[in-house]
Amino acid sequence: MSVMNPELKKITIKDAAEQLNVSAVSIHNWIKDGSLQTTNNILTQKNIDDFRDNFLNSKKLSSRANKQYKDLHNHKSLSEEIKKDLRTSMSGDDISSKYESSLSESYKNKEGIYYTPQHIVEDMLKSIDETEGKLFLDPCCGSGNFIIEAIKKGISPKNIYGFDTDENAVAITKKRIKEISGYDSKNIICADFLNQKPKAKSQRFDYIFTNPPWGKKLKRNERERFSLIYDAGNSIDTSSLFYFASLKVLKENGKIGMLLPDSFFNITSFEDARKSLMTLQIDRFVDYGNAFKGLMTKAMAFVANSQQSTVNSQQMISCEIYNVKKHLRSQNSFSDIPKCIFNFHIEEKENDIIRAVFSMPHISLKDNAKWGLGVITGNNEKLCRKERAEGLVPIYRGKDILKNDLAAPSLYIDENLEGSRQVADMDLYKAPEKVIYRFISNKIVCFYDTEQRYILNSANLFVLNEDFPVTYSQLVDLLNSDFMNWLFRSIFNTHKVLRSDLESLPIFHEYFRKYETFSEETLRKYLQINA
Ligand SMILES: C[S@@+](CC[C@H](N)C(=O)[O-])C[C@H]1O[C@@H](n2cnc3c(N)ncnc32)[C@H](O)[C@@H]1O
């Protein structure tokens, strides 16, 4: 009887994709470009192992494939190793660290697996004082950091509940609970919290604290279904879906705390979540800065009480930059900031200026302009030349746009933008008058263009409607001003100049009736700002 060498066993594309933790398309591509060799047109385990072992020395792979591969781990074998570790005397804490550090960045990113550092967990749970008989939930508990801290604070392990879709994480959490309390928990469940059956949702919790997956990819129809189930409106990022789903199981007078990406606090798509949060009593906002290695996004938290905010409209919120400073802001002071942005870095006094200037007569760019993006060539190196030649015209990058000025052209492109991947309506580039502005920037830098210039996608543009009551030069002076930049920073605190942010800014058209030309001084006088 011949026994087949297991190495030569046929592996399906699906299996290969799973082992290498990439999409099936990547496997197809690697087979097609020869990076992943097959044996007589059959993909075997040996082919996969060879690919994994030899890959880093291989010169054949494209740099993209290379980058992709460096970012892989073998999830199946890691899971097996973790299962073995769980049966040894290795501590749950150590297994947790080992597991998290063995996951590749791309996997962590895709699944939203960034476990919360201990100092943040402690800080977020510090307001938990009553523990007797209280029920605690982490709806996506990972390896149990919040849960273990809740036990340390005195909550009974039998009153602690957790969900996670990752069975390794669930097993680690259970081991840690057992180690710290001796309790064999049945309440830590491997399941999708967003997809809980109605019966499971009938339980209510006194405390819900977590760091949910941020920006995890869900199918569009799934996101829409969750939005309906949880009344999440347009806030359908996984982080806000977890917020809305948690609210449904929070007791009256319960406490909820979440660690979230900074976008939750200032980006339009989270506006519905912020509006919902404003109906609770918010206790704290905390900026923890760049809390996760390898993640650019800042981590920020809120802690709130489910009691309706109308019960106490004078509620003060502790606004904190972790370990740096804190001040108090009334919850009311956030209510008339555009898009309900939580600009909690700003002190109440400065915020009063924002509210006061928004109460002055103003118009905005919303519905008063046509907007266009800069050109995406798809290959700047090929399509943008450093020297002018026949048939080429200048094209400007965001950094070439200066306050009311433009750097000398240093890039040139085909005058018909031939070959470019994405181009706005040509009428917008060719408009007799337009405003061009930097896109990647923490301040507004714009220029009034009357020469139909082209811009690359680090810049954007808008063309005013004909009846806009402020001239282009006046508008550009205003937008470039120190005052408007202070306003922009104080509200949006961002590194991108988004159309929707520009559309929310007040344009003081009456000021230009009084003072035809702009100056910082007369603007401050008009707005009655003394400081
Ligand atoms: C950012 S981690 C945080 C884990 C833990 N709460 C902490 O703070 O350390 C998010 C966790 O959500 C889990 N997760 C992702 N989607 C989930 C879902 N639909 N239901 C339950 N857990 C989920 C991931 O497996 C991951 O462990």
Atom of ligand 1 minimally distant from the CA of 238: 16
Lowest mean pLDDT among 19-33, 111-125, 275-289, 440-454: 19-33
Looking at every residue in the chain, the average pLDDT score rounds to 90
CA distances 390 to 387, 396, 416, Å, are: 10, 18, 12
Q: Which residue has the higher pLDDT, 20 or 103?
A: 103
| 274 Cα: distance to centroid of ligand 1 (angstroms) | 21
Residue 128, judged by CB atoms within 10 A of its CB (0-12, 13-18, 19+), counts as buried
CA distances 119 to 146, 278, 302, Å, are: 11, 27, 15
- Average pLDDT, stretch 260-267? 94
| Residue 7 token pair | 């190495």
Question: Are the CB atoms for 462 and 369 separated by under 8 Å?
Answer: yes
| Residue 257 token pair | 């705390």
CB atoms within 10 A of CB 425: 11
Distance CA 131, CA 42 (A): 60
Q: Count the alpha carbons within 13 Å of 402 in the hemisphere toward its beta carbon.
A: 6
Q: Which residues of 179-191 are buried (b: 16+ CB within 10 A; e: fewer)?
A: ebbebebebbbbe
pLDDT score for 4: 62
| 117 Cα: distance to centroid of ligand 1 (angstroms) | 14
pLDDT bucket at 59, cuts 50 / 70 / 90: very low
Domains and CATH numbers, the chain: 6-70 (1.10.1660), 114-345 (3.40.50.150), 369-526 (3.90.220.10)
Residue 184, pLDDT > 60, answer yes
| 164 Cα: distance to centroid of ligand 1 (angstroms) | 6
| 113 Cα: distance to centroid of ligand 1 (angstroms) | 6
Per-position DSSP letters for 204-255, written without gaps between them: -EEEEEE-PPSS----HHHHHHHHHHHT-TT--SHHHHHHHHHHHTEEEEEE
Residue 204, judged by CB atoms within 10 A of its CB (0-12, 13-18, 19+), counts as middle
Question: Are the CB atoms for 123 and 322 separated by under 8 Å?
Answer: yes
Q: Which amino acid is at 317?
A: I
Residue 63, pLDDT > 60, answer no
Question: Are the CB atoms for 357 and 307 separated by under 8 Å?
Answer: no
CB atoms within 10 A of CB 87: 8
pLDDT bucket at 7, cuts 50 / 70 / 90: confident
Distance CA 507, CA 166 (A): 50
CB atoms within 10 A of CB 365: 21
| Cα radius of gyration rounded to whole Å, the chain | 28
The residues, any chain, with a CB within 8 Å of residue 87's CB and separated by 6 or more, are none
| 393 Cα: distance to centroid of ligand 1 (angstroms) | 51
Per-residue pLDDT reduced to its tens digit, 207-259: 999 999 998 888 889 989 999 999 999 888 999 999 999 999 999 999 999 99
Helices (H) and strands (E) in the chain, counts: 22, 18
- 437-441: which pairs have CB atoms within 8 A and are 24 or more residues apart? 437/401, 437/461, 437/462, 437/479, 437/497, 437/502, 438/398, 438/399, 438/401, 438/497, 439/374, 439/398, 439/496, 439/497, 440/398, 440/495, 440/496, 440/497, 441/398, 441/495, 441/496, 441/497
- Average pLDDT, stretch 113-125? 96
Atom of ligand 1 minimally distant from the CA of 195: 19
Q: Tell the residue nearest (CA) to atom 12 of ligand 1.
A: 140
Per-residue pLDDT reduced to its tens digit, 403-460: 999 999 999 999 999 999 889 999 999 999 999 999 999 999 999 999 999 999 999 9
Per-residue pLDDT reduced to its tens digit, 46-56: 888 888 766 64
Q: Are strands 412-414 and 459-464 parallel, antiparallel or unpaired?
A: unpaired
Q: At which residue do the structure tokens 């090929």 appear? A: 382
What whole-number percentage of the chain has pLDDT above 70? 93
pLDDT bucket at 75, cuts 50 / 70 / 90: confident
pLDDT score for 1: 44
Residue 313, pLDDT > 80, answer no
Distance CA 263, CA 36 (A): 39
Atom of ligand 1 minimally distant from the CA of 169: 27
Element (H, E) at 181: helix 167-181
Pocket of ligand 1 (CB under 6 A): 111-116, 138, 140-142, 145-146, 163-166, 169, 192-194, 210-213, 216
Per-residue pLDDT reduced to its tens digit, 329-355: 999 999 889 999 999 999 999 999 999
- Average pLDDT, stretch 89-118? 90
